[in-house]
Structure 1
Amino acid sequence: MARAKIFCIGFQKTGTTSLYAALTTLGYRTAAVVGRDWSAERLAAEGAALCIETMRNFDAAQDMPWPVFFRELDAAYPGSKFILTLRDADRWFSSIEGHFGANAGEMQAFVYGRDAAAPAGNRQRYLDVYARHERDVRAYFADRPGDLLVMDLERGDGWAELCGFLGLAVPSEPFPVKNRSSDRKTLSFRIRRKIGLLLGRYLAPERI
């Protein structure tokens, strides 16, 4: 019997890269960002179908635009498990703004609106969308608490919560902590990120 699909539906900068590493350690083949080069309009029209089709070849998924399509993914893959990563909203926005700044992107335009395609100058819009997503997810799974795990990695959630939710043994190694601000200051990180952006790898983790 195939194990349940796992969908990580927390927004960027909520610990998604750490969760990607954790799921990989647990043996899940995990998809990351898809539709990277698509316009916001195409993502809105075809993004759900892209995610559903991509998932046929993976055990789990995280990064954008997966969180936006949690309802469609739930309908397409009954019995799946969903993980919502959260962090303090102000710290989350500071991290998003520090990463993207005034750089507009199609994925941000899709999630936050064409008029807020860059976080700089759009703090309230980003905070509103972030809060609405949490409310929507919690409301959707209100009658199915066993299908949703809410994690806050900054508050210490890790293997115990994740493995308990998935029914797996806790690994002996520490829970991975990835993409900290101190990591992003290193030369090797900047070089790897630049190479990744230049190559535009289709399913490489976005690390955001």
Structure 2
Amino acid sequence: MNAHQSKVFCIGFQKTGTTSMNKALSLLGYRVKSVFGRDLTLESLSEQYVRHGLEIAAGYDAVEDMPWPLLFRELDSRFPGSKFILTVRDTNSWFNSIADHFGTAPDVMQQLTYGADAPYPVGHETRYRGVYEAHNEIVREYFADRPSDLLQMDLATGHGWAELGSFLNRTDTPEGPFIRANSKEERESLSYRLKRKVQRMKQLLPQR
């Protein structure tokens, strides 16, 4: 990344195109940090994620995935002049995707985001939908007077390189379709399913 360019914080929830944004920003030369803190207990994560996140963000050009959306205000305060990207999708489509992805596997990041009593999406649809929609609206209201600092991208409607390049003032974005990563088809591949099984087994190990 050019030293004079702003940091980029992707603050859309999981399953809104965050992995695609990671790959797109990486292609443009940004050093991108994804999820952090999933190896912690809920108590430790709740106590540390803001402080730890700000420390981590200082060493990267861009971030995406959880729990970054939960500390967008702190990121804005700590790194003035940064750019924020809110990836969104239709709520029904989003919930179906996150339910398909996580099922009933308990996840500490889901507890941090949706509540300790909602560790997975299945059976907690009302909570998940409400938190998702509220977050998007809060972000829009927060940046209402600073439209040049926030880009909303809905990849399902065709948003892609043109919007991203214009927002970041980049003239070197590729032509053609935007990157589509972590799709349902990709997740159904054998290699992906094996990777997810290993990740879930690690979650059952004693946590710090």
TM-score strictly above 0.5: yes
RMSD, aligned α-carbons: 1.7
Matches of 1:68 and 1:190, distance apart in 2: 28
Counterpart among 26, 29, 37 of residue 27 in structure 1 = 29
How far has the Cα of 1:196 moved from its partner?
5.8
Which structure is richer in relative contact order (CA contacts within 8 A, separation 6 or more)?
Answer: 1
Q: Is residue 161–residue 175 contact of structure 2 (8 Å, CA) maintained in 1?
A: no
Query: Structure 1 regions of 5+ residues with no counterpart?
Result: 201-208
- The code of the aligned residue for 1:52 comes to L
Aligned to 1:129: 131
TM-score, normalised via structure 2 length: 0.91
Aligned to 2:89: 87
Instruction: For residues 85-135 of structure 1, give each alpha carbon's deviation from its aligned partner in whole angstroms, at most 9, with x where no partner exists.
Output: 000101111111111111111110110001111111100000000011011
Whether 1:182 aligns to 2:175 is no
Matches of 1:11 and 1:145, distance apart in 2: 20
Instruction: For residues 13-38 of structure 1, give each alpha carbon's deviation from its aligned partner in whole angstroms, at most 9, with x where no partner exists.
Output: 00000010000000000000011112
Matches of 1:47 and 1:103, distance apart in 2: 22
Query: Structure 2 regions of 5+ residues with no counterpart?
Result: 204-208
Whether 1:112 aligns to 2:114 is yes
SS of the aligned residue for 1:188 comes to helix
SS of the aligned residue for 1:114 comes to coil
SS of the aligned residue for 1:79 comes to coil
% identical equivalent positions: 50
Matches of 2:202 and 2:165, distance apart in 1: 34
Aligned residues: 200
